[in-house]
Amino acid sequence: MNTVLMPVAVVKKEDRILIRKMDPEKSPYAELWALFGGRVEGNDSILDALNRELSDRWNFTVSITEKLWWNEEIKVDHDGEEKRFIYLDVLCSIADGEPKPINENELLQWALVSELNQYDVNPPTRTLLAKLGYLA
């Protein structure tokens, strides 16, 4: 089984976090809200992997303000293969750019932390937001 190393960014600004809903045709969690991640490739650093994905798909980059923890799951990837995903969770702030989706079928939302329970989020996002105390 292949392993995917994926940093996950909690992008925070004051009392809000930035969440996304990906194109349903490209996401294993279609129609669910999620945080941001990028796959580590080659000699990428965690920050390089995140910023490549964020810049290419969402028009912004981040700086890491705090390294949090890790989590893992086994799931079928978009290529149809079952893989082990290891998530490296980090708290971030926007370094450059204005978040907007490049793909018109994707959505972005600045969600109040106090209202996150109103969003249908994917399982890895739910786990991370609960660890942060943002969800019960």
Percent of the chain with pLDDT over 90: 69
Q: What is the mean pLDDT of residues 98-116?
A: 91
Angle of CA points 97, 52, 77, to nearest 5°: 125
- Domain over 2-131 is classified CATH 3.40.309.10: no
- Residues in Cβ contact with 92 at an 8 Å cutoff, skipping those fewer than 6 apart: 9, 10, 11, 12, 50, 62, 63, 64, 65
pLDDT at 27: 66
User: What are phi and psi for residue 123, nearest 5 degrees?
Assistant: -55, -45
Of the pLDDT bands very low, low, confident and very high (cuts 50, 70, 90), residue 26 is low
- What is the rounded CA–CA span in Å between residue 47 and residue 80? 27
Question: Where are the domains positioned within the chain?
Answer: 2-131
- Residues in Cβ contact with 67 at an 8 Å cutoff, skipping those fewer than 6 apart: 88, 89, 90
